[in-house]
Amino acid sequence: MNILVCVSQVPDTTTKVAVSADGKTIEKNGVKFILNPYDEYAIEEGLQLKEKFGGSVTALTVGNDSAKDILRTALAMGADKAVLVSENGTADTFGIASAIADYARTLNPDIVILGRQSIDYDSFAMASMVGELLDIPSISMVSSWSIEGTNITAERDIEGGKEVLEAALPCVISAQKGLNNPRYPKLPDIMKAKSKPIDTTTASVSEARVITKGMELPQTQRRGIILGDGENDISELVRLLHEDAKVI
Amino acid sequence: MKIIVLLEPSANGIKRSSLECVTAARNLGASTIIGYMYGGEASSANIAGEYGINDIAHTPSSEYSSTAAATSLAQFVKSEGADTVIVAANAAGKEMAPRVAVKLGAGYIADCVSLSVQSGNLEASRPVYAGKAKITVSVTTQTAVYALRPNVFTARKAETPTTVTVRTFTPQLTANDTRVKVKNIVRNEGKLDVLEADIIVSGGRGLKGPENFHLVENLAVKLGAAVGASRAVVDAGWRPHGEQVGQTGKTVSPNMYVACGISGAVQHLAGMSSSKVIVAVNKDKEAPIFKVADYGIVGDVFDVLPKLAEKISVVTGK
């Protein structure tokens, strides 16, 4: 089975966000970049498919040179090959999806696996866009699935329950938490991954379809009324919720 | 501006998140707004008249396929020569809208929390970096697709309701369009989902064990609320993943969010900080949750929750 796993590099979840001088992006100085947490599930799923069906796992990221770090993590976990599609930071979601699809056409994978969202822009769009560009089915936020022959049965979370879906390979899926337990790379594998080759190609990025006009830090306008735990405090809270906030 | 709004059918009409999209479209002052409904019963569309749109196209379908729905909507948008598509950013919307955008060569803006017209151009704003920043974005394309975060825009009825006319739109579908099919939907019966609830009561590690969650559940009953949970208690196996609120769980924007025994790690705040009113109960007065709270009680959940439930019951009658 020819498996393509797409990963992205994102600021650590605990990053304190500041707006950079351009007023449109975050200040990257001092920010620690990590492998997008959902992509760990995607890599693990790719490796488990290979263990079950044979084949190879290619890890791909679209980004700049610093994104090689996360490709090395994928190699240390067990990916066979790593590809950096280099891009100078001007691509929007569609541009990234196009770069992934362009590379996928040369690889002709049976399955493309992504994390359900990257935790920087949280668009949840990549699986559907890549699926559409490759003209193959896609299923987002898969929490469990099985493959029999070329038939896929998958479950995904929806409001108030789960959907059970059917599709066929080739297919794009995005991984939800709970799909598996990502393995930790072992130290010798981390060391070996440092010297493994990373293929580099350059994305041909078309004009962005969506542009950012500005970025700001949200102003929290919370009431901030903090009470104690006495009977009167609790009564006062209920009164405030009823008469002031009018939520009960 | 000519807007097509995706109307998702529900058991008794149109989903509220779709009606929120209708109101958002009306607030933009568009020359034309048309509703489009894929699947469901044509009669479900009637309620949209109360929200001010009368022209609705319907594509009957007995089996839901996100790819077929995307193809159908894109074909309808083209046939109408519309420039703007608005859908709810729920599970179905997030799945099909990016495909619609690619088919139309349109810019796609996910998870919008506001839409406005600035010198003739539509601008959207949306949270990024787990809500730690917000960006204003616009498209460079002729056509645009916007997905609106549910429960952020308010669905408002029109002052004068109109009578809905439903016409049938028949798309040209090929076998390729139905390669993904929903075979079955498993409902969490008798349990309100955090994504659909007006009020959520969530419990965290401060509950000390799964056996104590009845305190959270009881308060939820008195409020008519859904039960949510922090990542810590889901990872510990106390509660199911479907209840998890936060970065690796669900992002919610209820009218009121009550955090019980939850310290308020940034990953949790990412999932609930757009709630309209936030209430926190925690015995640690330094807990970060109090920094985002409208109302807080510094106290032990074991002592506070039963009293709070009792007093709330008097108001709500539940």
For A244, the token pair is: 């002031």
Residue A219, pLDDT score: 78
Average pLDDT over residues A224-247: 96
Reply yes or no on domain B199-316 having CATH 3.90.180.10. Answer: no
Beta-strand runs (E) in chain A: 2-6, 9-11, 33-35, 56-63, 81-86, 111-115, 138-148, 151-158, 161-168, 171-175, 199-202, 210-216, 225-227
Average pLDDT over residues B105-113: 97
Residues facing residue B258 across a β-bridge: B201, B279
Positive or negative, the CA dihedral B23, B26, B28, B33 is: positive
pLDDT, tens digit, 9 for 90 and up, residues A132-144: 999 999 999 999 9
Contact B138 A223 (CB under 8 A): no
Give which of B79, B70, B90, B78 is closest to B21, Cα–Cα: B90
Q: Where in chain A is the domain with CATH 3.40.50.620?
A: 2-202
Percent of chain B with pLDDT over 90: 90
Q: B221 — contact with chain A (CB < 8 Å)? A: no
B2-178: CATH, from 3.90.79.10, 3.40.50.620, 3.40.50.880, 3.40.50.1820:
3.40.50.620
Give which of A14, A199, A194, A222 is closest to A119, Cα–Cα: A14
Residue keyed to tokens 């998140």:
B17
Mean pLDDT over the full length of chain B: 95
Task: From residue A242, give the alpha-carbon distance in Å to each of A27, A41, A237, B277, B315.
Answer: 42, 44, 9, 12, 8
For B242, the token pair is: 């479907």
Residue A93, pLDDT score: 96
Same fold, B2-178 and B199-316: yes
Cα R_g (chain A), whole angstroms: 22
Strand order through the sheet with B133-139: A210-216, B133-139, B121-128, B114-118
Q: What is the ipTM of this complex?
A: 0.95
CATH class of A2-202: alpha beta
pLDDT, tens digit, 9 for 90 and up, residues B31-50: 899 999 999 999 999 999 99
| CA–CA gap between residue B214 and residue B235 (Å, rounded) | 19
Mean pLDDT over the full length of chain A: 95
Q: B10 — contact with chain A (CB < 8 Å)? A: no
Residue A241, pLDDT score: 97
| CA–CA gap between residue B17 and residue B8 (Å, rounded) | 8
- Distance of residue A197 Cα from the nearest chain B Cα, in angstroms: 31
For B289, the token pair is: 């949750």
Strand order through the sheet with B277-282: A225-227, B295-298, B277-282, B256-260, B199-203, B226-229
Residue B270, pLDDT score: 87
Contact B311 A235 (CB under 8 A): yes
Give which of B2, B65, B77 is closest to B38, Cα–Cα: B65
Residue B51, pLDDT score: 96
Residue A220 has pLDDT above 80, yes or no: no
3 state SS of A157:
strand
Q: DSSP secondary structure string, B52-95?
A: T--EEEEE--SS--HHHHHHHHHHHHHHHT-SEEEEE-SHHHHH
Contact B108 A121 (CB under 8 A): no
Helices B91-104 and A93-107 sit at what angle, rounded to 10 degrees?
Answer: 80
Contact A237 B181 (CB under 8 A): no
Residue B41, pLDDT score: 94
- Domain edges within chain B: 2-178, 199-316
Determine contact, residues B308/A233, Cβ cutoff 8 Å: no
Q: DSSP secondary structure string, B156-203?
A: ---SS----EEEE------GGGGSSEEEEEEE-TT---TTT-SEEEEE
Task: From residue B155, give the alpha-carbon distance in Å to each of A17, A136, B103, B235.
Answer: 33, 36, 29, 36
For B56, the token pair is: 């609705």
B residues 88-107 closer than 8 Å to A (CB): 89-92, 94-99, 101-103, 105-107
H or E element: which one contains B42? Answer: none
Residue A127: Cβ-neighbour burial (10 angstroms; 0-12, 13-18, 19+): buried
pLDDT, tens digit, 9 for 90 and up, residues A88-131: 888 999 999 999 999 999 999 999 999 999 999 989 999 999 99
Chain A CB contacts of B182 under 8 Å are: 163-165
pLDDT, tens digit, 9 for 90 and up, residues B281-308: 999 999 999 999 999 999 999 999 999 9
Chain B CB contacts of A20 under 8 Å are: none
- Distance of residue B83 Cα from the nearest chain A Cα, in angstroms: 14
H or E element: which one contains B279? Answer: strand B277-282
Residue B281, pLDDT score: 98
Phi/psi for B132 (5° steps) reads: -80, -15
DSSP state of A197: -
Q: B117 — contact with chain A (CB < 8 Å)? A: no
Chain A to chain B Cβ contacts (< 8 Å): 262
Residue A88, pLDDT score: 85
Residue A206, pLDDT score: 84
Determine contact, residues A182/A40, Cβ cutoff 8 Å: yes
